Chains A and B, each alone.
Chain A
Amino acid sequence: MDNAEEDTQKRRLSPLFRRLLKIKVWLVDRFRLSERQITLIWAAFVGVLGACASESFREASSLLHYAATGSDSGIITSFEHLPWWQRLAVPAIGGLLAGLTLWLGNRLFSSVRQKTTTDYMEAIVVGSGNISVRASIVKSLSALFSISTGTSIGREGPLVQLSSLVASLVARMRNFPIPQRRHLVACGAAAGIASAYNAPIAASFFVAEIILGTVVVESLGPIILASVVAAFTSQFLHGAEPLYKSPGFNLHTQWEMIPLSCVGIVLGFVAPAYLRLLRLAERLFSKIEMPVPLKLALGGAIVGLLAIYNPAVCGNGQGLLRSLFHQGWFWDEILAILLLKLIATATAFGSGVVGGVFTPTLFTGAAIGMLYGQAVLYSAPWLRSDPAMYGLVGMGAFIAATTGAPLMGILMAFELTLDYALAPFLMVNCVVAYYCSSIFERRFMYGESLERKGAAFFNQQLAEMNIRDLVRINPITLPKNATFAQIAETFVQHRFQHIYITDKESRLLGAVSLHDVKTFLDRPELETVVIAADIMNEDFPRVSPRQGMSEALHKFSEANSERLPVVDDLSSQRLIGSISKTDIILHLAGDQKR
């Protein structure tokens, strides 16, 4: 054996090594992580981070609340112990600080042009999945001042914002593509809601039903995982009790099913009025011409004035809900606090306070449900109704009717109370309330905001898009004396709906449409008699790179064509290429690569 042969022998793989290699390949093949599995892993991670972010906000809010009121009790208890002037001053100063934060943040960061959004819903639905860090911090800080000083607004807004921001940052660091990035932000939003309400299933369906608008297993899987992990993390950090633990309800007689099944009708018809009240407050405040800090201070002062009369109006209504379900309230007390709370929430919302109205809406539904329950109790005492049961059902029905998400309403009310006996009534009433509300209201709580943001994003994208970037050069052209045979041949060879007709100087003369000639393509008698000039449309719409994308879209609607010719200048008419609808849509969808 010479040296070369020995070398070859040495290089040849041993049978054992070959077997190991085969096993390795098999293992890699079987256990290679797909994009979905990677998303799932990151969703769990986002769940933990989201819950931690929410927890940090809660802690910061408690600290600031202590600094403002000198009490570490709940908001309502703290305000009960404050003198009247402090009840007025604390929310007003909180509003002023919240407004100053927004104003300052706006001044500092408005000049920085960012390819990001401040809103998690926008980031999930229409954006690139990038949430602005600075703007999110400004918004959360502003919300922190408002919430910890007793403004009647929900803290779920900033909790979800922060949780979504964390998810967005993770996605950006991992350099995920846009669809995956949006998906992870959706996981972050669900994690925020799950940790805010300790309701992972409802949180998943909140994001799926309200924000994504679809309940598809492929997208729902990671969202559920993120919610569950976030809820577990929150439970680990501060207990596993449901927010409003049900005392356990029983129907004393089956006849009670009748009034209990009608809660949804009442709340379904009240919900549109509630939504209109919020919009009215927004409109009224928009008419007041004053700087944002003063506007928020005014909102805070109004809440403070109400708090002088009844401190229970302060806060998001979570403590009030607990009290409503576990202490026997008289109907006139419920009515009074309901009216005050409605004014306080509408004022806070209208003045532009950063936060959510989810918890105040839950309270409104519960209070109306309880009033209805009281009415049932007084009118049919033999039913021995428990108004609290009506309150819990009303809470779910009202949230379903105001958000337009019945599935989420059912799950949210069920998870908040964990009372299975209520589940069938929740199901009936949430669906009924949603349908009743839909008769009068088409714009639900989050839908309107999404609609506005979606339109704004679309318009911004359109304004920023440049026709020149999307032009495909060297389109298929024919001269004006091209025979019908040549035209037919070109249509057969290329899958285009229009062939552009140009002169020797490449000036666009018109376009021949396949639609116009398709029934004659098999007529040999036309081959020499008809030429392009005979059948072209000289007025075929065209665009120039100097025009805006909205003009191009307008021209597309005129032409009913997949492509439009692009001329260098509308006066010279020299054809430089074509632009297609598909490319515009892909560009709007965030696909920069063509």
Chain B
Amino acid sequence: MVREEFLVISRKSVEHLRAAIFIRDLKAESDHEAIRKMLDSLGGSPQVKDLESLSAAVFERQETEPPLFPGGIAFPHARTDSVSALVMVFATCKEAILFGTTRVRLIFLIGVPKHAGAEYLEIISFLARHVRGERAVDRLMEATDLSSFLAAFAEPNG
């Protein structure tokens, strides 16, 4: 059943997940610093056409309405043409980082080209659905690399 749920997303989205950058135990004093570090990790990515624009778009979106999910999960993201394809950076934080007043342990940074609205909703929906519950977050927090992080998605929520 869980496998099936994993398979409901498109092959393209699976590829995006597999191409994501994983940062284990991200340390930062603030949400801004955490996002900045994650954005910096995208520096060499061929999909990122303009890192500065991407950063500006992400921070602007944070100012509008910080996308937070119950359980200490943040989804900083932006739809911008400064990326040519969907890019993602996942980060686990052993020491929770304050995003406003929310203590965040998992961060999913996503950059989406403007034309890829459906892909964006699909990925966000997939991620948000799989991080519901304390056990799911714990499993993801235990991941040591991208493959173990993604494998945690394939396990039942709890």
Residues of A within 8 A of B (CB): 480-481, 516-517, 519-520, 523, 525-526, 528-531, 533-535, 537-538
Provide 6 A-B residue pairs closer than 8 Å at the C-beta atoms, listed in order of the A residue.
Answer: A516-B118, A525-B132, A529-B69, A530-B121, A535-B117, A535-B120
Give CA–CA (A481, B65) in the complex, Å: 7
- Given known pairs A525-B129, A526-B128, the reply for A531 and B121 (CB within 8 Å) is no
Interchain CB contact (< 8 A) of A534 among B61, B122, B128, B132: B61
Report the minimal beta-carbon distance from A559 to chain B, rounded to whole angstroms.
Answer: 15
User: B77 interface residue, CB < 8 Å from A?
Assistant: yes
- Assess whether A531 is in contact with B64, with CB atoms less than 8 Å apart: yes
User: B75 interface residue, CB < 8 Å from A?
Assistant: yes
Report the minimal beta-carbon distance from B133 to chain A, rounded to whole angstroms.
Answer: 12
Set of chain B residues within 8 Å of A530, measured between Cβ atoms: 67, 121, 124
Interface residues of B in 74-88 (CB under 8 A from A): 75, 77, 79
Interchain CB contact (< 8 A) of B77 among A517, A526, A534: A534
* Residue ID in chain A nearest B74 by CB atoms: A529
Give CA–CA (A537, B81) in the complex, Å: 13
- Assess whether A529 is in contact with B67, with CB atoms less than 8 Å apart: yes
* Residue ID in chain A nearest B75 by CB atoms: A529
Residues of B within 8 A of A (CB): 61, 64-65, 67-69, 75, 77, 79, 114, 117-118, 120-122, 124-125, 128-129, 132
Set of chain B residues within 8 Å of A520, measured between Cβ atoms: 121-122, 125
- Assess whether B65 is in contact with A531, with CB atoms less than 8 Å apart: yes
- Assess whether B64 is in contact with A533, with CB atoms less than 8 Å apart: yes
Set of chain A residues within 8 Å of B132, measured between Cβ atoms: 525
Report the minimal beta-carbon distance from B6 to chain A, rounded to whole angstroms.
Answer: 15
Give CA–CA (A520, B65) in the complex, Å: 20
Give CA–CA (A322, B120) in the complex, Å: 80
Interchain CB contact (< 8 A) of A517 among B121, B128, B129: B121
* Residue ID in chain A nearest B77 by CB atoms: A534
Set of chain B residues within 8 Å of A517, measured between Cβ atoms: 121
Set of chain A residues within 8 Å of B61, measured between Cβ atoms: 533-534
Report the minimal beta-carbon distance from B3 to chain A, rounded to whole angstroms.
Answer: 19
- Assess whether A534 is in contact with B120, with CB atoms less than 8 Å apart: yes
The 10 A-B residue pairs with the shortest CB-CB distance, nearest first, are A525-B128, A481-B65, A529-B67, A523-B125, A520-B121, A525-B129, A516-B117, A531-B65, A529-B75, A526-B125
Give CA–CA (A529, B77) in the complex, Å: 10
Give CA–CA (A487, B89) in the complex, Å: 28
Report the minimal beta-carbon distance from B123 to chain A, rounded to whole angstroms.
Answer: 11
Set of chain B residues within 8 Å of A537, measured between Cβ atoms: 117
Give CA–CA (A523, B8) in the complex, Å: 14
Give CA–CA (A481, B125) in the complex, Å: 18
Report the minimal beta-carbon distance from A487 to chain B, rounded to whole angstroms.
Answer: 11
Set of chain A residues within 8 Å of B68, measured between Cβ atoms: 528-529
Give CA–CA (A529, B102) in the complex, Å: 14
Give CA–CA (A535, B61) in the complex, Å: 12
Set of chain B residues within 8 Å of A480, measured between Cβ atoms: 64
Report the minimal beta-carbon distance from A541 to chain B, rounded to whole angstroms.
Answer: 15
Give CA–CA (A74, B122) in the complex, Å: 84
Interchain CB contact (< 8 A) of B121 among A528, A535, A538: A535
With A523-B129, A535-B120, A537-B117 known, 9 other A-B pairs at CB within 8 A are A480-B64, A481-B65, A520-B121, A520-B122, A528-B68, A528-B69, A529-B67, A531-B65, A538-B114
- Assess whether B69 is in contact with A534, with CB atoms less than 8 Å apart: no
- Assess whether B120 is in contact with A525, with CB atoms less than 8 Å apart: no
- Assess whether A529 is in contact with B124, with CB atoms less than 8 Å apart: yes
Give CA–CA (A13, B61) in the complex, Å: 79
* Residue ID in chain B nearest A520 by CB atoms: B121
Set of chain B residues within 8 Å of A519, measured between Cβ atoms: 118
Set of chain B residues within 8 Å of A535, measured between Cβ atoms: 79, 117, 120-121
Set of chain A residues within 8 Å of B117, measured between Cβ atoms: 516, 535, 537
Give CA–CA (A533, B64) in the complex, Å: 9
Give CA–CA (A519, B65) in the complex, Å: 23
* Residue ID in chain A nearest B121 by CB atoms: A520
Set of chain A residues within 8 Å of B75, measured between Cβ atoms: 529
Report the minimal beta-carbon distance from A509 to chain B, rounded to whole angstroms.
Answer: 11
- Of A481, A516, A517, A534, chain B has the most CB atoms within 10 Å of the CB of A534
- Assess whether B124 is in contact with A481, with CB atoms less than 8 Å apart: no
Give CA–CA (A529, B117) in the complex, Å: 14
Give CA–CA (A526, B128) in the complex, Å: 7
Set of chain A residues within 8 Å of B77, measured between Cβ atoms: 534
Give CA–CA (A533, B124) in the complex, Å: 15
- Assess whether A525 is in contact with B125, with CB atoms less than 8 Å apart: yes
Report the minimal beta-carbon distance from A517 to chain B, rounded to whole angstroms.
Answer: 7
- Of B61, B67, B128, chain A has the most CB atoms within 10 Å of the CB of B128
Give CA–CA (A525, B136) in the complex, Å: 15
Report the minimal beta-carbon distance from A258 to chain B, rounded to whole angstroms.
Answer: 66
- Assess whether A526 is in contact with B64, with CB atoms less than 8 Å apart: no
Give CA–CA (A53, B64) in the complex, Å: 75
- Assess whether B121 is in contact with A526, with CB atoms less than 8 Å apart: yes
Report the minimal beta-carbon distance from B62 to chain A, rounded to whole angstroms.
Answer: 12
Give CA–CA (A517, B125) in the complex, Å: 12
* Residue ID in chain A nearest B78 by CB atoms: A534
Give CA–CA (A422, B121) in the complex, Å: 72
Set of chain A residues within 8 Å of B124, measured between Cβ atoms: 526, 529-530
Report the minimal beta-carbon distance from B65 to chain A, rounded to whole angstroms.
Answer: 5
Report the minimal beta-carbon distance from A411 to chain B, rounded to whole angstroms.
Answer: 58
- Of B61, B65, B69, B122, chain A has the most CB atoms within 10 Å of the CB of B65
* Residue ID in chain A nearest B79 by CB atoms: A534
Set of chain A residues within 8 Å of B64, measured between Cβ atoms: 480-481, 531, 533
Set of chain A residues within 8 Å of B120, measured between Cβ atoms: 534-535
* Residue ID in chain A nearest B115 by CB atoms: A537
- Of A481, A519, A525, A529, chain B has the most CB atoms within 10 Å of the CB of A529
Give CA–CA (A520, B125) in the complex, Å: 8
Give CA–CA (A480, B124) in the complex, Å: 18
Report the minimal beta-carbon distance from A463 to chain B, rounded to whole angstroms.
Answer: 35
Set of chain A residues within 8 Å of B69, measured between Cβ atoms: 525, 528-529
Set of chain A residues within 8 Å of B114, measured between Cβ atoms: 538
Give CA–CA (A538, B115) in the complex, Å: 11
Give CA–CA (A531, B79) in the complex, Å: 12
- Assess whether A529 is in contact with B128, with CB atoms less than 8 Å apart: yes
Give CA–CA (A503, B64) in the complex, Å: 12
* Residue ID in chain A nearest B70 by CB atoms: A528
Set of chain A residues within 8 Å of B122, measured between Cβ atoms: 520
Set of chain B residues within 8 Å of A534, measured between Cβ atoms: 61, 77, 79, 120
